[in-house]
Amino acid sequence: MSNPSLLILPGDGIGPEVMAEVRRIIDWFGDRRGLRFDVSEDLVGGAAWDVHGTPLTDATMAKAQAVDAVLLGAVGGPKYDTLDFAVKPERGLLRLRKEMDLYANLRPAQCFDALADFSSLKREVVAGLDIMIVRELTSGVYFGEPRGIFTEGGARVGINTQRYTEGEIARVARSAFELARRRRNRVCSMEKANVMESGVLWRQVVQEVHDAEYPDVELSHMYADAGAMQLTRWPKQFDVIVTDNLFGDLLSDLAAMLTGSLGMLPSASLGAPMENGRPKALYEPVHGSAPDIAGQGKANPCACILSFAMALRYSFDQGGEADRLERAVQAVLDRGIRTADLMQKEGGRPVGTRAMGDAVLAALEASL
Ligand code: NAD
């Protein structure tokens, strides 16, 4: 059998710097765990525009469609700020998400004990936190028609439309239930069924999918505003949260910040299963290209490393190896090894991107 395939798109700014560390980790899994990938690398964002005059070529798009998973660094930077909207670096990422039809955005909020003091909440509220927000990514009020600013009776009216088909709700609900089965087997669905018809339908369809296909998973429903309160009051009550595009945008940012630093946050965007049963998948850190520190070897590679851990778990069914990698990151933090972004509240000397990669590799080696 051939190796699973991985397309790497480092992108711009700190993207290539953090991805270089992930490449070393991928090689480690090949050499030491016999877990080999067919890795190809290509351009996206400003880097692609510089060479091809487009943020994503058709050839790269075709490669992304053909591989088992895509791993992306970050796109964008001040150099490209004046470009026409149609060729801005971010359009490359949007095209990938759209054409791969990545409808489920997974944002874990996981708090490493060593970083619990970084949260704005009390240590006991966040230490050991491990929840997953599944946000519907390709429909809802950001896409619904009609939309626009119109004039009615001489006054301007701004209109956006919240619209969900039952198929769109059902498929993201399935993603959440599947995830829950690999975790603590609980899903909480959030909407505003008290004031929105689309919320009433959301609740009905999630319940129907549950009853017909996932009766073994514990399901609860919550209004999204109450959900926001519960997330800040006692986030550990949740396992998987599934919600629509708009509420997910807000709730996933809120949950992410429970855990501290941008340099630690991975994400995944998943679509429909391919012929081989694996979902279409794009893994990327939540952070951007960090132009303020790009080229200085200071960036924290952990968000990108943890994105690869998500790929191991959700694309390649290697949950044990994903655990190994996450534990290695944890061990490094426990030893007090920190990049500059994790140092605000402490003294000591920060390490650079490469040294952080070295430390994770050493921790992986020690795990054998
Ligand atoms: P950003 O995430 O790039 O940076 C915000 C702050 O966090 C900066 O001070 C940065 O130095 C710091 N930071 C981010 N990642 C870090 C890391 N791994 N290690 C250490 N520090 C880190 O957000 P921004 O400054 O708003 O945007 C910069 C560029 O990135 C813009 O062009 C924006 O459009 C783009 N962007 C891209 C993505 C993406 O590729 N998915 C996401 C957000 C922003």
Residue 118 is assigned to a structural domain of this protein: no
Same domain, 81 and 140: no
Cis peptide before 146 (omega within 30 of 0): yes
Considering only residues 143 and 214, tell me which one the structure prediction assigns the higher pLDDT.
214
Mutate to test the pocket of ligand 1, among 21, 95, 262, 342 (most ligand atoms within 8 A of CB): 262
Residue 344 is predicted with a pLDDT of: 65
Residue 47 is assigned to a structural domain of this protein: yes
Least confident of 138-147, 163-172, 291-300, 315-324: 138-147
Tell me which of 249, 317, 323, 358 is the catalytic residue. Answer: 249
pLDDT 10s digits, 155-213: 999 999 999 999 999 999 999 999 999 899 999 999 999 999 999 999 999 999 999 99
Ligand 1 atom nearest to 285, measured from its CA = 41
The share of the chain scoring above pLDDT 90, in percent, equals: 86
Residue 279 is predicted with a pLDDT of: 93
Interval between CA 230 and ligand 1 midpoint (Å): 28
Ligand 1 atom nearest to 340, measured from its CA = 20
Same domain, 223 and 276: no
**Residue that is written with structure tokens 């039809």 in the block:** 101
Residue 117 is assigned to a structural domain of this protein: no
Residue 256 is predicted with a pLDDT of: 82
Residue 112 is assigned to a structural domain of this protein: no
Res 73 pLDDT > 90: yes
From the CB of 289, is ligand 1 less than 6 Å away? yes
Domain end, chosen from 258, 276, 295, is at: 258
Tell me which of 38, 216, 253, 334 is the catalytic residue. Answer: 253
Question: How many whole angstroms separate alpha carbon 338 and alpha carbon 336?
Answer: 6
On the CB side of 250, how many CA atoms lie within 13 Å of its CA? 14
280 catalytic residue (yes or no): no
Residue 355 sits in a domain of what CATH number?
3.40.718.10
Same domain, 337 and 287: yes
Confidence label for 112 from pLDDT (cuts 50, 70 and 90): confident
Interval between CA 289 and ligand 1 midpoint (Å): 5
SS3 of the chain:
CCCCEEEEEEECCCHHHHHHHHHHHHHHHHHHHCCCCEEEECCCCHHHHHHHCCCCCHHHHHHHHHCCEEEEEECCCHHHCCCCHHHCHHHHHHHHHHHCCCCEEEEEEECCHHHHHHCCCCHHHHCCCEEEEEEECCCHHHCEEEEEEEEECCEEEEEEECCCCHHHHHHHHHHHHHHHHHCCCEEEEEECCCCCHHHHHHHHHHHHHHHHHCCCCEEEEEEHHHHHHHHHHCHHHCCEEEECHHHHHHHHHHHHHHCCCHHHCEEEEEEEECCCCCEEEEEEECCCCCCCCCCCCCCCCHHHHHHHHHHHHHCCCCHHHHHHHHHHHHHHHHCCCCEHHHCCCCCCCCECHHHHHHHHHHHHHHCC
Same domain, 140 and 227: yes
Into how many domains does the chain fold? 2
Residue 119 is assigned to a structural domain of this protein: no
Same domain, 93 and 151: no
pLDDT 10s digits, 242-295: 999 999 999 988 888 887 778 999 999 999 999 998 999 999 999 999 999 999
Res 358 pLDDT > 60: yes
* Chain mean pLDDT for the chain: 94
Same domain, 242 and 292: no
Mutate to test the pocket of ligand 1, among 14, 85, 289, 307 (most ligand atoms within 8 A of CB): 289
Domain end, chosen from 242, 258, 274, is at: 258
Res 346 pLDDT > 90: no
Confidence label for 116 from pLDDT (cuts 50, 70 and 90): confident
Tell me which of 192, 214, 314, 341 is the catalytic residue. Answer: 192
Ligand 1 atom nearest to 303, measured from its CA = 18
Same domain, 99 and 143: no
From the CB of 350, is ligand 1 less than 6 Å away? no
Terminal alpha carbon distance of the chain: 26
Domain end, chosen from 258, 286, 305, is at: 258
Same domain, 251 and 141: yes
Same domain, 9 and 75: yes
Q: What is the pLDDT averaged over residues 63-80?
A: 97
Residue 39 is assigned to a structural domain of this protein: yes
Same domain, 2 and 89: yes
Residue 123 is assigned to a structural domain of this protein: no
Question: How many whole angstroms separate alpha carbon 187 and alpha carbon 175?
Answer: 11
Cα dihedral sign for 78, 260, 229, 165?
Answer: positive
pTM strictly above 0.75: yes
Residue 125 is assigned to a structural domain of this protein: no
Considering only residues 94 and 31, tell me which one the structure prediction assigns the higher pLDDT.
31
Residue 118 is predicted with a pLDDT of: 80
Same domain, 134 and 196: yes
Res 348 pLDDT > 80: no
- Please name the residue whose Cα sits nearest to atom 22 of ligand 1: 263
- Please name the residue whose Cα sits nearest to atom 27 of ligand 1: 288
pLDDT 10s digits, 121-134: 898 999 889 999 99
Q: Which residues pair with 273 in a beta bridge?
A: 279
Degrees to nearest 5, angle at CA 344 with 339 and 348: 65
Which structure tokens are listed for 86?
Answer: 């149609």
Same domain, 85 and 38: yes
From the CB of 341, is ligand 1 less than 6 Å away? yes
Ligand 1 atom nearest to 291, measured from its CA = 28
225 catalytic residue (yes or no): yes
Residue 161 CB contacts under 8 Å (≥ 6 apart), including other chains: 141, 144, 145, 146, 147
Residue 55 sits in which domain range? 1-107+263-368
